[in-house]
Amino acid sequence: MSSRRPASRQPTAVPEEHATNGQRNSISLGPNDRLVGELYIEGDLRVSGTVEGNLEATGDIEIAGGGKVNGDVTAYNRLTVDSDASLIAGDVRVARLTVADGATFSGKVSMGKPAKKAPERTAAPAPEPVPEPVVEPVAVAVEPAPEPAAVAAAEPVAVNRAKTARPAPAKKSFQKGKRR
Amino acid sequence: MDVQEATAEGAASAENGEVKRDGKKQFSMGPQDVLEGKLIYDGSVHADGRLEGEVRVTGNIDVANGAQVKALLEGSNVTLKGNVEGMVTARDKLTLGRNARLSGDIQVRRLQIDDGATLNGNVRMGDFEQQASGQ
């Protein structure tokens, strides 16, 4: 059993939209290779090493030999887990799935239509920030206006009445005293 | 356990639905048969036709191609070739054949999925006794 077979590198049918140089893109991780993180590939992926993270491929994913994958796996076409390989996943979204006897496999498997989650996220951003700036300038403009108006109106009236009230009886008393 | 595995394969000629093979009982359904309810059986079951409810057996469960099953299935070796809706527990091995369609959570010790099979559900794999006692 050779660890590397050329089968996955020579896909039989290559759709033209996936082809770059007449061949589909392909990544192979050997037994001593390790990937930590997230990988998206337009093409095929073959894992014989260790992957900690999420994988997404537009073609096939093969977990071969002693390959170990710990993370979500999405294959638009086909996922193969060989007998010595291990896949511990949260979500597995694939069109076709092959698991060999002896493989370690766990996770939530979804096969078929992959477009369920997309429409849920587009709904309802919050409309709150619109009324806040409208309310604030109105309250600020109304509040200071009556205070100076009341003070300005009250003070001159009181002063005018006091000035006009004082000389009036004095004039009357002088006039009365002069006439009598 | 070895004897049970040996009785798993082979089309049993039905005698009242029950056939003894190597001293082990097998309950066998035909493509026109219908079973609704709960079956707890000390032996193996070959399911065909329509099956609804719950099936718990000490031996193996074998769902034929074209069968319609809506049931909880529990057995040592479970081999599915038909359409199954419901939770499946295989104390040893679960095999999904190329025409199998399974929607439901599965709990297995060993798992084999052939190319062409369809699976929708949660897969839990490990030592059966530990997981059962843990719940």
Q: Please indicate, yes or no, whether residues A144 and A171 belong to a single structural domain of this protein.
A: yes
Residues A28 and A109 in one domain: yes
CA–CA dist B76, B33 (Å, integer): 23
Would residue A124 count as lying in a domain?
no
Read off the pLDDT of residues B95-125 as tens digits, 9 standing for 90 and up.
999 999 999 999 999 999 999 999 999 999 9
Q: Is B33 helix (H, G, I), strand (E, B) or coil?
A: coil
Q: Give the distance from residue A129's alpha carbon to the nearest chain B alpha carbon, in angstroms.
A: 42
Query: How far B123 CA sits from the closest chain A CA (Å)?
Result: 5
Q: Are both A69 and A144 inside the same structural domain?
A: no
Q: Let me know whether A78 and A150 are in one domain.
A: no
Contact A103, A122 (CB under 8 A): no
ipTM, two decimals: 0.80
Is A109 close to B123, i.e. CB distance below 8 A? Answer: yes
CB distance A106–B114 less than 8 Å? no
- At A67-96, the pLDDT tens digits run 999 999 999 999 999 999 999 998 999 999
Chain A residues with CB-CB distance to B116 below 8 A:
96
In a 10 Å sphere around its CB, with 0-12 CB exposed, 13-18 middle and 19+ buried, how is residue B106 labelled?
buried
Query: What confidence score (pLDDT) does residue B24 get?
Result: 80
* CB A32, CB A13: distance < 8 Å: no
Beta A104-111 vs B118-125: how paired, if at all? antiparallel
Residues A53 and A102 in one domain: yes
Residue A36 lies in a domain: yes
| Local confidence band at B19 (pLDDT 50, 70, 90 cut-offs) | low
Burial class (CB in 10 A: 0-12, 13-18, 19+), B41: middle
In terms of domains, do A101 and A172 share one? no
Whether residue A34 is found in the same domain as residue A111 = yes
Question: Angle formed by the axes of helices A167-179 and A146-165, to 10°?
Answer: 10
Please tell me the pTM assigned to this model. 0.66
Q: How many domains does chain A have?
A: 2
Chain-wide mean pLDDT for chain A? 70
Same domain, A17 and A103: yes
Q: What is the mean pLDDT of residues A1-24?
A: 49
Residue among A96, A104, A107 minimizing CB distance to B115: A96
Contact A73, A95 (CB under 8 A): no
Closest-CA residue to A78 (of A94, A67, A65, A56): A94
Scanning A93-132 for CB atoms below 8 A from B yields 96-112
Residue B20: band (very low, low, confident or very high) from pLDDT cuts 50, 70, 90: low
CA distances from A150 to A49, A72, A138, A144, A178 (A): 84, 71, 20, 11, 43
Do A105 and A136 lie in one domain? The reply is no
Give the residue with greater pLDDT, B75 vs B5: B75
Distance CA B88, CA B75 (A): 8
Enumerate the residues of chain B whose CB falls inside 8 A of the CB of residue A101: 93, 95, 110-112
| Cβ-proximal residues to A105 (8 Å cutoff; 6+ apart), any chain | A81, A86, A87, A99, B111, B123, B125
Q: Are residues A104 and A142 in the same domain?
A: no
- Residue B64 binned pLDDT confidence (cut-offs 50, 70, 90): very high
Please tell me whether residues A80 and A164 are part of one structural domain: no
H-type alpha helices, A10-70: none
| Domain of residue A135, residue span | 131-179
Residue A92 falls inside a structural domain: yes
A101 and A12 in one domain? yes
Are the Cβ atoms of B113 and A104 closer than 8 angstroms? no
Domain-terminating residue out of A115, A139, A157: A115
* Distance separating alpha carbons of residues A79 and A60, to the nearest angstrom: 6
Say which of B112, B119, B123 has its CB closest to residue A101.
B112
